[in-house]
Amino acid sequence: MKRSNLELLPLFLFVLFLVSCQDKKAKEKTKDLAEVQEEYTKKAPDWSKNAVIYEVNVRQYTEEGTFNAFREHLTRLEEMGVDILWFMPVHPIGEKNRKGTLGSYYSVKDYEDINPEFGTMEDFKALVDDAHSRGMKVLIDWVANHTAWDNVWVDEGHLDWYTLDSIGGLQPPLGTDWWDVADLNYENQEMRDRMISSMQFWLRDVDIDGFRCDVAEWVPDDFWDEARPQLDEVKPVFMLAEAEHPEHHEKAFDMSYAWEYHFIMNDLAQGKKDATHVGEYLTKDKRFPSEAYRLQMTSNHDENTWKGTVKERLGDGVQAMAVMAATIQGMPLIYSGQEAALDHRLEFFEKDEIDWTETPLQGFYTRLIDANHNNEALWNGAYGGETRIVTVGNDNRVIAYHREKNGDSILVLLNMSGEERDVSLNGEGIEGFYEELFTGLETEITTQYSERLGPWNYRVYEIRN
């Protein structure tokens, strides 16, 4: 027995040495990451300062529902002035516990592969290259909170990378009906490392420009803080959080959702709120850092499918609210089909199709995008001007606000009702000769300016330096 123990002693010491080395390496890596994060300063890429973003729903965009079919629309989107293409998840979709026939984009089976429904990896790379040649940037949706039940990580045996139930099985995120996905365990550093490595793959091998991060607030903040500098090591990235928390902007994200204002716009259109709530929102929004970009929208994939079309939610105020989303502080988002006046809820788990027979709002959005590009008052974050409410008397169904930056100005008047309204504007401090964006007519704004706005009508007066 003594001899056996002595024989095993070298093996025991060798194993102890290996464990000690691994522990030392882990501590050194943790220390290195901490030092990198401490020294790192987040900065949005320069190209984003006056950008407008467009969300692409590949499955429903064309009859074919492929990358190659979508590419046929790039010229039109380029002419419209789109800067950033945000693609809903492009990964293979899980088959186990799948919802519907085609499944949810947000049930990811493999973080480093392409959904064959849309085409091949080479097809997507060609699309990215084509977009880049036109001056557009590409973001992909990143689902970091959960995966499909049959994700390759499960097949590889990494059950400890997941949040397990009482009998050691996978489970969906608690409090949801997302039974087609399994919740991830962010206490596992190995999983975190693999997640970041997969994100780097898309930057390095596919040359995308950033990520829209799904339910970002459900993922620990320190993961995003850990990921951002490592992503920027590959190339400068743009990061959009589907969340509305100021702290996300400290180290990780460039832009966050202005959900609260989106819901205010819905209520404005439905007569449930008025101009006073806009002023209250602008005051509250100052809790975000000045350099933070805020995503403004009248629709997106969730709102269209689950909450209703813009026509259902905004009624006759669709264009007035689009004007507001494009001119108040933040980066405007256009969802697939809005320029075609999309008026039906797109299916989420089945094939559907946007009707591109006509694009009646293409010119409308083109003008708004042009203003965002060329009027510095409308630029994003600290690059743009602060939104200041302009007094219009006691009529709370009329909203007026002004923004100014480096000699550029924008003055927006909105009638938030189905009736004609007389606008009496206190123009003190903003006097001057403005050109109206949609008519090209020159108008002098004086200290006591007044005009009549038709139902749900709007004016966008601007001065470009």
Q: Is the pLDDT of residue 2 over 50?
A: no
Model pLDDT for residues 240-290, shown as the tens digit of each residue: 999 999 999 999 999 999 999 999 999 999 999 999 999 999 999 999 999
Say if residues 143 and 89 touch (Cβ distance below 8 Å). yes
Average pLDDT over residues 344-353: 98
In this structure, the strands spanning 255-257 and 238-241 are parallel
Does pLDDT of 216 surpass 90? yes
Q: Helix or strand or coil: residue 234?
A: helix
Q: Where exactly are the structural domains of the chain?
A: 42-385, 389-463
pLDDT of 25: 59
Helix (H, G, I), strand (E, B) or coil at 206: coil
Fold of the domain spanning 389-463: Immunoglobulin-like (2.60.40)
pLDDT at 40: 85
> In sequence order, what DSSP letters do the residues of 334-381 get, joined into one string?
EETTGGGT--SPPPSSS------S--TTHHHHHHHHHHHHH-GGG-SG
Average pLDDT of the chain to the nearest whole number:
95
Q: Which residue has the tokens 């290996």?
A: 18
Q: Is the pLDDT of residue 363 over 50?
A: yes
Q: Would you state the pLDDT for residue 39?
A: 78
Q: What is the mean pLDDT of residues 224-251?
A: 98
Give the pLDDT of residue 393.
85
Per residue in 9-53, pLDDT (tens digit) is 665 666 566 656 666 655 555 556 566 567 789 999 999 999 999
| pLDDT above 80: residue 57 | yes
Mean pLDDT of 196-202: 99
pLDDT by residue (tens digit) across 82-126? 999 999 999 999 999 999 999 999 999 999 999 999 999 999 999
Overall fold of domain 42-385: TIM Barrel (3.20.20)
Closest CA to 293 of 394, 203, 229, 383: 383
Predicted local distance difference test score (pLDDT) of residue 323? 99
% of the chain surpassing 70 pLDDT: 92
Please state, in angstroms and rounded to a whole number, the distance separating the CA atoms of residues 237 and 97.
Answer: 34
* pLDDT tens digits, 139-188: 999 999 999 999 999 999 999 999 999 999 999 999 999 999 999 999 99
- Provide Rg for the chain, Cα atoms: 25
Is 129 in a helix, a strand, or coil? helix
Q: Averaged over 322-339, what is the pLDDT?
A: 99
User: Has residue 8 got a pLDDT over 70?
Assistant: no
What is the sign, positive or negative, of the torsion defined by CA atoms of 51, 54, 55, 58?
Answer: negative
